[in-house]
Amino acid sequence: METLLLNADEKSLDLASSLLHDGKLVAFPTETVYGLGADAMNRDAVLSIFSAKGRPADNPLIVHIYDRSQLKELCTIPEQAVSLMDAFWPGPLTLLFEKLPAVPDEVTAGLPTVAVRMPSHPVAAALLRSCRLPVAAPSANSSGRPSPTKASHVLEDMQGKIPLILDGGSCDVGLESTVLDILHGTPTILRPGGVTKEMLEQVLHTEVAVAGSVLRPLRPDETALSPGMRYKHYAPKASVVLVEGKEPSVLSALRELYRKEAAAGKKTCVLCFTEHLNQLQDCSPHDIGSAAHMEEIAGRLFDMLRTLDLEGMECVFSEVVPPEGVGLAVMNRLGRAAAFRTIHADD
């Protein structure tokens, strides 16, 4: 299959909309990452998302809408959802709702809940508005790879597998949406993202919990609240190890770890803050962004993980960020890229 990569304009949006109506797949930019969309009410179209991505069938999809009136055909709306939608939609917050029978089980992987989000990216919003369909769209990467934050990333993974990629430049947030469960007691973040725990607490006037497996691997006996958390994710081909501790100990540990692996002939690098580039200049430093700008780090992370593969990196040692605000989402993705392997530099 030929894969068209087109700038998002009126003509390509029309084409995208008619492809979606025909049950075909279209990759499009959102403010979080690029999505791989299909008509959410068309079972076969939804199934083709799973085959294009190589996604396990038990990992449910997020349904994208442009107007709250579309919820009527998808789900019931609990009262608590209203203030959250008022505050954060359109934007990077996905809410779980009790699903209606019309939503195919393939979308929700058989779960009684459906995840819904209203994206704010102008191209995503224009596409949803023009096709007037609820669009099921996971991230447009091959399963297990870092999510795409540029159209070129989508092409790397989806060339020959889908008919159209709409190019809308780089994604602003650069990490997937926050997934929030408000249906089962204490509101719980199943996946952290651009809408932070602190922001949610301000609107809900109550404490928000974070699922245990956000910052550690799922235990063998544990059920994943968010099925996606079960799977290896965001992992580059290199072995990634995180290094935490006080700044001087982290810097000397990074130098030591780099030296050892490089001396053993491994293609090695360190991921560090802009502020540490000079001090780590002999360690093939890769700039993850300024420690003072967490949004910058979030926006670069997936592109950085893909770059490591393109460079043929074998060993990667990375600094960590405090798991607060957007830092929680950064540490979730970085932690999973490293399979949560961490060295404590102060020990």
| List of E strands, 65-184 | 93-98, 113-117, 135-136, 164-167, 178-181
| Chosen from ligand AMP, Mg ion, none, partner binding at 190 (C-beta under 5 to 8 Å by type) | ligand AMP
Dihedral, 243, 249, 251, 253 alpha carbons, nearest 10: -60
- Reading the block at residue 267, the tokens are 């293609």
74 binds, among ligand AMP, Mg ion, none (CB under 5 to 8 A by kind): none
CB of 190 to ligand AMP, least distance (A): 5
Give the x-and-dash track for 172-211 against Mg ion (CB under 5 A): ----------------------------------------
What is the signed CA dihedral for 215, 56, 306, 153, rounded to 10 degrees?
-130
3 binds, among ligand AMP, Mg ion, none (CB under 5 to 8 A by kind): none
Q: Where on the chain is the footprint of ligand AMP (CB under 6 A)?
A: 59-60, 62, 96, 108, 111, 113-115, 138-139, 176, 179, 190-191, 226-228
Token pair belonging to 245: 């501790």
Residue 150 in 3-state DSSP?
A: coil
Dist. CA 84–CA 98, nearest whole Å = 16
225 phi/psi in degrees, rounded to 5: -65, -35
> Cβ closer to Mg ion: 34 or 273?
34
The binder of 227, among ligand AMP, Mg ion, none, by C-beta within 5 to 8 A per type, is: ligand AMP
Looking at residue 337, its amino acid is A
Applying CB under 5 A, the site for Mg ion has a residue count of 2
Question: The tokens of 237 are what?
Answer: 């081909």
Q: Output the residue with the shortest Cβ distance to Mg ion.
A: 139
- Return the closest-CA partner of residue 149 out of 296, 31, 311, 274: 31
Answer whether 149's CB lies under 8 Å from 65's CB: no
191: partner contacted, choices ligand AMP, Mg ion, none (Cβ within 5-8 A by kind): ligand AMP
16's tokens: 């995208």
Mapping DSSP to helix (H, G, I), strand (E, B) and coil, where does residue 63 land? strand
Q: Does 139 bind Mg ion (CB under 5 A)?
A: yes
Question: Is 139 or 332 the residue whose CB approaches Mg ion more closely?
Answer: 139
Identify what 179 binds: Mg ion, ligand AMP, none; CB under 5 to 8 Å per kind. Answer: ligand AMP
| Span of 4-12, 125-133, 137-145, 275-283 interacting with Mg ion by CB under 5 A | 137-145
Residue number with CB closer to ligand AMP (59 or 268):
59
| 125 φ, ψ (degrees, to nearest 5) | -65, -40
- Grouping H, G, I as helix, E, B as strand and the rest as coil, residue 293 is coil
Sequence-ordered list of residues with C-beta below 8 angstroms from that of 286, at least 6 positions apart, any chain: 269, 270, 271, 272, 304, 307, 308
Q: SS3 for 90?
A: coil
Rank residues 32 and 268 by Cβ distance to Mg ion and give the closer one. 32
Token pair for residue 134? Answer: 């609820």
Which of residues 12 and 177 has its CB atom nearest to ligand AMP in the complex? 177
Q: How far is the CB of 55 from Mg ion (least distance, A)?
A: 8
Nearer to Mg ion, 95 or 179 (CB): 179
Which span (6-14, 95-103, 139-147, 165-173) binds Mg ion, by CB under 5 A? 139-147
| Residue 60 interface partner, choices Mg ion, ligand AMP, none, CB cut-off 5-8 Å depending on type | ligand AMP
Instruction: Select 78 or 227, whichever has its Cβ closest to Mg ion.
Output: 227
Question: Distance between CA 75 and CA 115 in Å, rounded?
Answer: 10
Q: Which is nearer to Mg ion, 114 or 280 (CB)?
A: 114
Give whichever of 114 and 195 is closer to ligand AMP, judged by the CB atom.
114
**Shortest distance (Å) from residue 338 CB to Mg ion:** 18
For 97, the 3-state DSSP assignment is strand
The CB-nearest residue to ligand AMP is 228
Residues within the interface to Mg ion (CB under 5 A) = 138-139
